[in-house]
Amino acid sequence: MSRPIHAKLDFSALEHNLRAIRRRTDARVMAVIKAEAYGHGLVRAAEALRAADGFALLDLQDAVRLREAGFRQPILLLEGFFAADELPLLAEYELASVIHSSQQLAQLSAYPRRGGLAVWLKLNTGMNRLGFTPAQFTQVLETVRRHPAVGEITLMTHFAHADDAVGVEAQLACFDALVGGQRLPRSLANSAALLRYPQTHADWVRPGISLYGASPFAEVSAEQLGLRPVMTLASEVISVTELKAGDRVGYGGSFCAERAMRIGTVACGYADGYPRHAPTGTPVLVGGQRTRTLGRVSMDMLSVDLSELPEAGIGSRVVLWGEGMPVDEVARAAGTISYELLCALARRVPIK
């Protein structure tokens, strides 16, 4: 028999989440499926998201995979091209490219082809990660407009604080001041801005984490946002141990029993994608009942508290995150974010 750990993917939830997002906006939806669709699988996630108006990802070969699989929507490379010799492939497969740097602008300027290349021009309005500065904007836009290979131009930016108290107002004001007179399509909103700031929706929204049923906000759950989890990481209890007061659990003995306890060992560890740094007390479901992890997470196993679950034993189903156990809650307990947990699912974990 194989190890009982597996990830179940509910693609009806992905479709549900897309519909939930559409109800919030009249903008076109550019579904973000980078990092193998946040760990859910590029092509299978795209199949479930066929109703999206477009797809955004990072890798040129992934974009080609989608085209060859029959997807005809706009496909956007979020970091653009990395070398001039990629430009003919963009044209061949009708792929849109973000342009965010002077190096890319120079490579585009040397490209001899005429017509058809869709460009998303990225403005740095305060994230200070990618994009042209406000001082560069007017000249860069004019250069892109004049290039004979460029077709449609979309103007975009990315918010640094859409998910926290700082908000989007300063960046939005910067963007509006720069592009106010331009009659060009615009894209600003990631999941957080889409859900919280309708004034950012513009022509294209770019939902990512919300599509997969997780919340971009620390204080608002996915359920409160009308979202359903797509990935459920589940396993089983494979061993049960009785502890007495003073017994320690796992590497380093970081957990010490203060009383007699009953604990279970679960077939899941950091080599499966569960966070090694998750502390004692991280929530988990065993047999549908909430309990907690104990001690240090090992490569292939972790320990859970069965003291208040007398019916739990070897073979009991364990949900690490997903259905009934929000990935956001697990991530918060582990001092990380749901994005990291979903993207870190190991290849060795079977998908059902």
Rounded Cα–Cα distance for residues 155 and 81 (Å): 17
| Helix or strand run (H / E) with residue 235 | strand 231-243
d(CA 228, CA 12): 9
Q: How far apart are CA 47 and CA 290, in angstroms?
A: 34
CA distance 147 to 123: 19
Cα maximum dimension of the chain: 77
Q: Select from 292, 285, 301 the least CA-distant residue to 251.
A: 301
Active site residues: 34, 251
Helix (H) or strand (E) holding 61, with range, is helix 60-68
Say how far apart CA 29 and CA 193 lie, in whole Å. 13
